[in-house]
Homo-oligomer: A and B are copies of this chain.
Amino acid sequence: MRAPYGLEIIESCLSCPHREDRLFCNLPPPAVQKLAAITSAAAYPKGATLFVEGQSPRGVFILCSGKVKLSTSSADGRSLILRISEAGEVLGLPATVTGKPYELTADVIEPTQANFISRADFLLFLREHGEAALRVAQQLGETYHSAIAEMRTIGLSHSAGEKLARFLLDLSADHDEGKGEVRLTLTLTHEEIGQMIGASRETVTRLFADFKKKQLLQVKGSTVIIKNKAGLESVLGA
Contact = CB atoms under 8 A, between A and B. Distances in A.
Interface stretch (A33-41, A44-52, A143-151, A203-211): A143-151
Count class of interface residues, chain A:
35 or more
A100 B151 contact: no
A155 B97 contact: no
A140 interface: yes
A155 B156 contact: no
A126 B126 CA distance: 13
Contact of A80 (B130, B151, B158, B237): B151
Interface in A121-156: 126-127, 129-131, 133-134, 136-138, 140-145, 147-152, 154-156
**In the complex this chain forms, how many copies of it are found?**
2
A82 interface: yes
A177 B13 CA distance: 51
Given A131-B127, A156-B73, A98 B145 contact: yes
Given A141-B95, A155-B198, A72 B136 contact: no
Contact of A130 (B133, B143, B158): B133
Interface in A160-191: none
Given A136-B137, A137-B133, A140-B140, A151 B72 contact: yes
13 contacts: A75-B236, A80-B151, A82-B148, A94-B142, A97-B137, A97-B140, A103-B144, A103-B145, A103-B148, A130-B134, A140-B140, A147-B151, A150-B151
